Amino acid sequence: MSGTFVGMPSFPRAAKEAVHNKTLRDNLRHATHTIRDKRAKAVAELADWAELREAGKQIKDHTLRHLDRYLVQLESRVTEAGGTVHWAADADEANRIVADLVKATGESEVVKVKSMATQEIGLNEALEAEGIAAYETDLAELIVQLGDDRPSHILVPAIHRNRGEIRDIFREKMADWGRAAPHGLSDTPADLAEAARLHLREKFLRAKVGISGANFMVAETGTLVVFESEGNGRMCLTLPETLISVVGIEKVVPTWRDLEVFLQTLPRSSTAERMNPYTSTWTGTADGDGPRTFHLVLLDNGRTDTLADEVGRQALRCIRCSACLNVCPVYERAGGHAYGSVYPGPIGAILSPQLRGTQSEIDASLPYASSLCGACYEVCPVAIDIPEVLVHLRERVADQGGKGHRVEKAAMKAAGWVLDHPGVLGAGERVASRTRKLHPSKLPGAGAWTRSRELPEMPAEPFRDWWKKNRKPKSDGKKP
Amino acid sequence: MRVALFVTCVNDAVYPSTGIATVRLLERLGVEVDFPEAQTCCGQPQFNTGYRAQTEPLVRRTAAAFEGYEYVVTPSGSCAAMVRQHYPKIGDASAAALASRTYELTEFLVDVLRVTDVGAYFPHTVTYHPSCHGLRMLGLGDRPRRLLEAVDGLELRELPGADECCGFGGTFALKNSDVSTAMGQDKVNNAVSTGADVLCGADNSCLMHIGGVLRREEAPLRALHLADILASTREEPLV
Ligand code: SF4
C-alpha cells in the first residue's frame, strides 16, 4: 500500500474496491457524517459566516494576484530574521534540498509535524533512499506510517481505520519503529493515545532535526503559522536544533491582520472547533529559544502553472480544511485512496490534475469523479467553485482526447447534429418508442447502467407527438 | 398569461407523461401553454461532460426557440439551472436574456402564479427528494414541499438525508457506475425507511436513476415526478 501514487489506475477502478468493502464504507460514513453535522453547528454560530467566507476568498485572490511581490517580501523578512530561504521548482528539487540540509547536520533521523506539502513531494521516501528515517508525529499520520498505509483524508489521515484496527497496528508495528506498545494494549481512545504519547516522546527528546509544513506564511514579518490539535507539532517545532519548513508558495498572506479571518474559518470548517487548540508561529531564529537553524523551502511544483489558468487558479485559495471531503457523497463511498494523490475528495479532484497535469490515467479520470452535486462549493470557506473547475478540467481532458474520449467526442458530435435538427430528433424518438419492447439493454452505454439499474420503459410516443395530436390545432404556432 | 413549455430532451423522449401533466396543470390554472417545436436539448449533458464546442449551438438554438416569450417554464431543476447559471457565460445576449425568463415549474407556480394549493388530489404517502441542482443552484427551498403539503389526500414523510445527491450526475452514472449505484442504493434505502409508497422528485433524470435502482431492488415504492402528482385531480386521478 505504501509508496508513491505513480501508476494508479483510473478513479472508477480504484473506487470499485472501496465501494464494495463494507467495513471501509461504514468507517467512512460514520466519520464523515459525524464531522459534517458538527461543522454545520459550529458554522451556524457565526452570524457573519458569509462575510468571513467572502473575506477569505478576497484575501487569497489578492495575494495570488500579487504573489511575486509577497513572496519576495517574505523572503527578505525570513532572511532578516535569521532564516534561509530556498526555492524549489519541483518535487525532486525540494527533496534534494531537504536531504542535503539534513545530511549537513550529520543526523540520520528527523521528526515531522504533519505536512501535506512533504507528502505531495514524497519526502519521506526520498529521505529513506538517502538513509534518513523520517518519523511522523501526528497521531493519525503515525497510524498511517506504522500501518504501511497511505493517508486517505486531509485532516484525519486514518479516517478509514477503526479503533480495533489501530490497536492491532500499534501492537504489531510500534516495536519496529521505536518504543513498543504497552503489553495488552486495549482499543480505548485513552489507551491508544497514551501508547502513542510514550512512543513519540522518545523521538521528540532525541531528534535534532524537525521538518514541518505551514498553514500560512505572513509576508510582512516572515512568520510561519501552524494550526494543530495535539501539541505534537509544537514539540517538533521547538525541540530540535534545526527546523526545515517545506511550504507551497500559495500559502503566503500579506499581513497578520489577514489571519483573523482564517483563525475563525479554518478550525470551524475542519474540526468543527471554535478555535484550534494549538496555534504555533515562528519567525526565523532566536537566541536560547527554539531551533538555532531555520530553513524555509518554498515549493512551486505545478503551482505557477495552476495560477496561469483563469478558471482553475481558484483551487490555490484552498486552506486544506477538508470540509469538502466530509460532505462529498463520492468521497464517502470511494474513500481517499481512490483519488491517487495526497489531496483526496473534491479538492483533490481539481488540484491534483492541475499540479500534475492530466496525462496519467488517474489524473485524466479525476475531473469526472464527481456528480457535480455542489455540496463541496456550498461548504468551502474560501468559496472555491469546485464544480466549475471540474467541468473546466473535463474540457481539457476531452480536448486532449485520451483513452475513450475519441469515441465519446464522436458520439457528442453526432448527438449534437441530431439535437440541432428537431425533425430528425422526433423521428429517432418515434423509432425508439415503437421498438421499445425490443432489447432495451442493447442501447449504447446501457451495460454500465443495467448492471445495477433497470432502464426506464420507453413511452408509446414522445411528447412532441402528443402535442401535435392534442394541442397544436389550438395553438397558432406563432410566437407571441 | 401565455408561457412556453421547455419540456427538456429527457422528458420529451422518455417521460412525455411529465410534459403532458405540466401542460394540464398549467392549463387548469388558467395559463395558456405553447410548445415551441424548434427546442431540443439545453446542452447540459455536453457541457457537463466537457464538450463546450458541442454545447454552443444548442445554447443558440434554445435561446432562439424561446425568443419573445415572457415566461419559459420547465419541469426540470437541472435544465433550469443550466440555463440560469451557464447560459449567460456560454451564449450571447439572447441566451443571457433567456436565463432571466426561465423558471423551474415549482418556482413558476409559487413565485409567479402565487399558488401553493393547485387543487390536486393524490391519496398516497409521499417522500420528497430535492435534486441537487434544484436545491443548491436554483435554491428552490421549501417550494416543492409546500406544493405537496397542499395536495388533498397526500401525506408527506420526511426523507432522511434528503439533501444528499442520489448519484445520477449525468454521465457520472455511467463513468462511475459503482459509486453512482452505491449512492442510489443509499437513497432508496432511506426512501424505503419512510414507509411511503411514492418517492417524488422534480427532475426526471435523477428519478430515472433512482427509479432504476428501485425496480432492480424491487423496493416497495415507485418514483414519480412532482408534476404528475400535481396534475392528478379527483376527476382525473393518477393511480
Ligand atoms: S477546497 Fe475549500 S472546503 Fe475543500 S479543503 Fe480546500 S478550503 Fe476546505
Query: Are A375 and B70 within 8 A, CB to CB?
Result: no
Q: Are A225 and A216 in contact (CB under 8 A)?
A: yes
**B interface mutation test: which of A332, A371, A376, A436 has the most B CBs within 10 A?**
A371
User: What is the band of A361 on the pLDDT scale with cuts at 50, 70, 90?
Assistant: very high
pLDDT at res. A443:
57
Mutation target for B interface from A467, A469, A471, A474: give the one with most B CBs within 10 A: A467
pLDDT-derived band at A478, boundaries 50, 70, 90: low
Confidence class of residue A453 from pLDDT cuts 50, 70 and 90?
Answer: very high
Do A12 and B175 lie within an 8 Å CB cutoff?
A: yes
Which residue of chain A is at minimal alpha-carbon distance from B51? A395
> In the predicted model, is pLDDT for residue A366 greater than 60?
yes
Interface of B with A in 18-77 (CB under 8 A): 19-20, 23, 33-41, 45-52, 54, 57-58, 61, 67-70
**What's the average model confidence in pLDDT over A209-224?**
98
Q: Is A321 in the pocket of ligand 1 (CB under 6 A)?
A: yes
pLDDT tens-digit map of A132-176:
999 999 988 999 999 988 888 888 878 888 899 999 999 999 999
**Is a pLDDT exceeding 60 seen at residue A441?**
no
B99 close to B89: Cβ distance less than 8 angstroms: no
**Ligand 1 centroid to A324 CA: how many Å?**
6
Taking CB atoms and an 8 Å limit, are B178 and A394 in contact across chains? no
How close B115 gets to chain A, by Cα (Å)? 25
* Long-range pairs of A120-123 with CB within 8 A, sequence gap ≥ 24: A120/A91, A120/A248, A120/A299, A120/A301, A120/A341, A120/A342, A120/A343, A120/A355, A121/A91, A121/A94, A121/A95, A121/A246, A121/A299, A121/A301, A122/A4, A122/A91, A122/A95, A123/A94, A123/A95, A123/A98, A123/A211, A123/A246
Residue A27 pLDDT: 87
What is the distance between the alpha carbons of residues A105 and A108, in angstroms, rounded to a whole number? 9
Q: How many residues does chain A have?
A: 480
Distance from CA of B238 to the nearest CA of A (A): 17
Q: How far apart are CA A304 and CA A410, in angstroms?
A: 34
> What does the pLDDT read at residue A439?
53
Task: Determine which residue's CA is closest to atom 6 belonging to ligand 1.
Answer: A318
Which chain A residue shows the shortest CA-CA distance from B86? A388
Residue B195's pLDDT is what? 97
| Amino acid at the residue A423 | G
CB A409 to CB B51 under 8 A?
yes
Are residues B83 and B98 in contact, defined by beta-carbon separation less than 8 angstroms?
Answer: yes
A265 lines ligand 1 (CB under 6 A): no
Mutation test of the interface with chain A: which of B6, B18, B40, choosing the one with the most A Cβ atoms within 10 A?
B40
The C-alpha atoms of residue A443 and residue B178 are separated, in whole angstroms, by 19
- What is the reported pLDDT for A474? 55
Which among B179, B239, B191 has a CA at the least distance from the CA of B215?
Answer: B191
Residue B75: alpha-carbon gap to chain centroid:
4
> Tens of pLDDT along A102-112?
999 999 999 99
Helix, strand and coil in chain A, % to nearest 5: 55, 10, 35
- pLDDT category of residue A1 using cuts at 50, 70 and 90: very low
Q: Which chain B residues are Cβ-neighbours of A368 within 8 angstroms?
A: 171-172, 175-176
For ligand 1, whether the C-beta of A60 sits within 6 Å is: no
| CA A272 to centroid of ligand 1, rounded, Å | 14
String of DSSP letters for A101-125: HHHHHT-SEEEE---HHHHHTTHHH
Look-up: residue for cell 420528497? B128
- Regarding the beta carbon of A31 and ligand 1, being less than 6 Å apart is answered no
Q: What is the structure's pLDDT at A158?
A: 81
Chain B 71-130, residues with CB within 8 Å of chain A CB atoms = none
pLDDT of residue A306: 98
CB contact under 8 A, A368 and B211: no
Which of the four pLDDT bands, split at 50, 70 and 90, describes residue A476?
low
Bridge partners, A32 (sequence order): none
Task: Mean pLDDT check: name the lowest of A31-40, A83-92, A296-305, A452-461.
Answer: A452-461
Mutate to test the pocket of ligand 1, among A382, A388, A389 (most ligand atoms within 8 A of CB): A382
Q: Which three cell numbers stand for residue A289?
A: 529559544
How many CB pairs below 8 Å do chains A and B form together? Answer: 189
Q: Which atom of ligand 1 is nearest to the CA of A154?
A: 5
Among candidate residues A248, A282, A278, A247, the one with its CA nearest the CA of residue A263: A278
Element (H, E) at A37: helix A22-44
CB of A349 sitting under 6 A from ligand 1: no
pTM for the model? 0.93
B168 band by pLDDT with thresholds 50, 70 and 90: very high
Q: What is the mean pLDDT of residues B72-83?
A: 97
Residue A400, min C-alpha distance to chain B (Å): 11
Write the pLDDT tens digit of every residue in A21-60: 988 888 899 999 999 999 999 999 999 999 999 999 999 9
Sign, CA torsion A466/A468/A469/A475: positive
Of B12, B38, B137, the CB nearest to A374: B137
Mean pLDDT of B20-39: 97
The ligand 1 atom at the shortest distance from the C-alpha of residue A386 is 1
pLDDT at position B179 over 50: yes
> Over the Cα atoms of chain A, what is R_g?
26
